[in-house]
């Protein structure tokens, strides 16, 4: 489907579910961006879920979002159970504004929901010549090291930095071997998942996506990945006032209440300590790209380059929508 037509369709759906035109536009931009950068698990595949939660009064379509300035640099936001895209959009813009004033902007969000891709928000700061760290917690998927029961989310870690080129440095990675969205897509299509990424509920390795969703996802790097998941749970849950310690509700399966996800945005002026930051970044990247390469590797890429190339390529063509998701869209329009 052509991008502008798709955007109008998404806006129409969200407005049908009582979001304002402005809030619907914010959501549509984030969803389409996910499709363009090649992350469909965070795009249209979640549209029905958001609408289901609005319909069940678990996402507030008309939130009264409150901002409390703790200092010139720090702001605390109560998102009033808004859709995550809207809360995160307000938060990153406020963090950028705070950083412009003082050099650093710190914004904590509570009572929010799933906001799509962390890198999408980091990139907004990078475009303003800022460095960004973005954290959010998620429903239980990863077990603490030594446990058999999932408790931490896939809890992404995101870092963004300006470079000397148009291609930003964006590291946006979950701390699980694969993200949960890929397992959900595999479950929906009855496909297998790779070996070594999940255990079933009895603690046995599995390639069955449905069993993996009821079991445990494996973290990157063993106990280190589990520790990183715990760190993000503290920063985005304990610290912000959001749910934590396994209390974030699964948006697809748990309709017992709002998610109350927490987000944390840390934004810093890139030239705060070094006026020639971009030149130093250029030197840093150049040194690494010049390193001897493994056999079969043509180029050493920095985080964000592949995503930028996918975006550039996909932007020129229509967005392909799988049959089952197109059916969801048509049903939501009815």
Residues 192-214 have a mean pLDDT of: 94
Residues 261 and 137: beta-carbon distance below 8 Å: yes
| Inter-residue contact 75 to 94 (CB < 8 Å) | yes
Q: What local confidence, expressed as pLDDT, does residue 315 receive?
A: 95
pLDDT band at 193 (very low <50, low <70, confident <90, very high): very high
Give the Cα-Cα-Cα angle 164, 167, 171 (nearest 5 degrees).
Answer: 105
Is 90 exceeded by the pLDDT of residue 67? yes
- The per-residue pLDDT for range 87-128, each reduced to its tens digit, is 999 999 999 999 999 999 999 999 999 999 999 999 999 999
Q: Which residues of 75-101 are buried (b: 16+ CB within 10 A; e: fewer)?
A: bbbbbbbbbbbbbbbbbbbbbbebbee
Q: Please report, rounded to a whole number, the percentage of residues in the chain having pLDDT higher than 70.
A: 100
Query: Which one, of 226, 237, 249, 221, lies nearest residue 154 by Cα?
Result: 226
Q: Which residues, 6 or more positions from 172, have their beta carbon under 8 angstroms from its beta carbon?
A: 117, 118, 119, 122, 156, 157, 158, 303
Mean pLDDT of all residues in 171-181: 92
Identify the pLDDT of residue 16. 98
- Average pLDDT of the residues in 163-167: 97
pLDDT band at 188 (very low <50, low <70, confident <90, very high): confident
Output the pLDDT for position 185. 85
Question: What value does the mean pLDDT take over residues 289-300?
Answer: 97
Question: What pLDDT does residue 204 have?
Answer: 93
- Residue 148 — very low, low, confident or very high, per pLDDT cuts 50/70/90? confident
Domains and CATH numbers, the chain: 62-269 (3.30.1370.60)
pLDDT by residue (tens digit) across 209-258? 999 999 999 999 999 999 999 999 999 999 999 999 999 999 999 999 99
Per the prediction, the chain carries an average pLDDT of 96
Quickly tell me which residue has 């906001």 as its tokens.
115
Distance CA 314, CA 142 (A): 32
Residue 296's pLDDT is 96
Residue 189 has pLDDT above 90, yes or no: no
| Rounded Cα distance, 51 and 35, in Å | 18
**pLDDT above 90 (res 275):** yes
- Residue 283 phi, psi (nearest 5): -65, -40
pLDDT at 181: 83
Kindly state the average pLDDT of the residues 269-291. Answer: 97
* pLDDT attached to residue 101: 97
Give the pair of three-digit tokens for residue 105.
């902007």
> Strands (DSSP E) along 237-291, which ranges?
261-269
Place of tokens 């239980």: 140
**Category of 30 on φ-ψ map: left (φ > 0), alpha (ψ -120 to 50) or beta:** alpha
Secondary structure of residue 71 in the 3-state scheme: coil
pLDDT confidence bin for 316, thresholds 50/70/90: very high
What is d(CA 226, CA 98) in angstroms, rounded to the nearest whole number? 32
The pTM is what? 0.95
User: Quick one: DSSP state of residue 106?
Assistant: E
């Amino acid at each position: 489907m052509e991008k502008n037509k798709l955007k109008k369709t998404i806006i129409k759906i969200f407005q049908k579910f009582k979001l304002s035109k402005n809030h619907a536009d914010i959501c549509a931009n984030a969803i389409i961006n996910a499709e363009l950068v090649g992350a469909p698990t965070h795009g249209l595949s979640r549209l029905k879920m958001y609408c289901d939660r609005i319909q069940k009064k678990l996402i507030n379509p008309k939130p009264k979002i409150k901002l409390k300035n703790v200092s010139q640099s720090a702001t605390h936001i109560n998102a009033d159970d808004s859709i995550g895209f809207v809360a995160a959009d307000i938060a990153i813009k406020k963090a950028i504004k705070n950083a412009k004033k003082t050099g650093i902007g710190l914004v904590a969000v509570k009572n929010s929901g799933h906001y799509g891709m962390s890198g999408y928000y980091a990139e907004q700061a990078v475009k303003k010549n800022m460095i960004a760290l973005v954290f959010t917690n998620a429903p239980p998927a990863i077990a603490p090291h030594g446990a058999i029961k999932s408790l931490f989310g896939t809890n992404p870690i995101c870092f963004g930095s300006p470079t000397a080129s148009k291609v930003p440095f964006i590291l946006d990675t979950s701390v699980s071997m694969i993200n949960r969205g890929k397992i959900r897509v595999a479950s929906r299509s009855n496909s297998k998942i790779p070996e070594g990424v999940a255990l079933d509920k009895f603690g046995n390795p599995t390639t069955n996506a449905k069993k993996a969703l009821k079991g445990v996802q494996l973290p990157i790097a063993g106990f280190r990945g589990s520790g990183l998941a715990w760190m993000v749970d503290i920063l985005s849950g304990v610290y912000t006032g959001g749910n934590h310690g396994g209390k974030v509700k699964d948006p697809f399966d748990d309709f017992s209440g709002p998610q109350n996800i927490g987000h944390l945005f840390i934004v810093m002026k890139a030239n705060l300590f070094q006026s020639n930051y971009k030149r130093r970044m250029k030197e840093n990247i150049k040194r690494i790209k010049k390193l001897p390469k493994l056999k079969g590797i043509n180029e050493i890429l920095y985080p964000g380059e592949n995503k930028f190339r996918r975006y550039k390529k996909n932007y020129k063509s229509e967005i392909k929508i799988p049959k089952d998701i197109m059916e969801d869209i048509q049903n939501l329009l009815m």
